[in-house]
Structure 1
Amino acid sequence: MLRRAFAFPNPVNEYAARSTAGIIVVVSLAALAVGLATGWGWSLWAIALGFWLRVAGGPRYSPAGRLAVHVIVPALGRRRLVAGPPKRFAQTIGAVLSTAAAVLWTVGAGPVAWTLLGLLIVAASLEAFAGFCLGCWIFGRLQAAGVIPEGVCEACNNIALRRG
């Protein structure tokens, strides 16, 4: 039962992932603007929490993920299935970056925190607007190098299992 509670969807609708990334871009740009104008950065903790919730269970626990899956994507009416493990890996990178930014802001290293948030905005923008998942690309390179075992994502390394 616990395993099911923390299961990540596989496959994932690419349009849901892109929509979630778009939400993250908007929220992160707002946090960056407010942070640079006022120095207030508590929203970094909310961004980090959102990433950790998506790592834990995909869109199930994440407000941004739920909005993307249940509102935005149905309105778009589009579906393209892609492998889940690389998307979870990408969410984990976002979780680590956003948590590092939140911690750094909390200890007084605001400029470094805002730089990390800027990197996150770039990566999320690539996903949302260009359909390029940087975390998925890194996942593929790590799998090709043998760092991530082939069994983690069979569809990732077997071209016959990929869906167009």
Structure 2
Amino acid sequence: MSFPLEGREEFATAEDTQAFGEALGKTLRAGDVLIMDGPLGAGKTTLTQGIARGMQVKGRVTSPTFVIAREHRSLVGGPALVHVDAYRLLGEEAGATDPLGELDSLDLDTDLDEAVVIAEWGGGLVEQISERYLLISLDRESALEEDPDSHARIISWRWVDNS
């Protein structure tokens, strides 16, 4: 299954966002790193829920804010999903730490090369763990400016290769 290498789409509902995530999740492979950026409430966890459904992993996907990282094992022999709050993982010392070392120090049961890593708030921090990553930006503010009752979000994505 293929997925566009880059794009920008508006999704009217959380369910639409999850469906997009599910389609993306079906294409992800072990070693893929996704960096999600957007303000609080933009839909990062909602999108991750869809990705998890597409990857067919165990467990309820919730925000990793209070646990820093959560691992979801595959139900079908595929890669695990490691869902990380990069802001809390690296804290205020982001420039002085090693993101891969910090992830490894969490004592996850998965070799990160054998998992898909999704890092919320990862921009500027997590790029160091992989030469290739999918940068995803979520924007709810534009839709709210037009309609305060809107549940829409705009998602932009592109694969970045720094090799």
Fold conserved (TM > 0.5)? no
Could you say which structure has the higher helix fraction? Answer: 1
Higher strand share: 2
Q: TM-score, normalised by structure 1?
A: 0.25
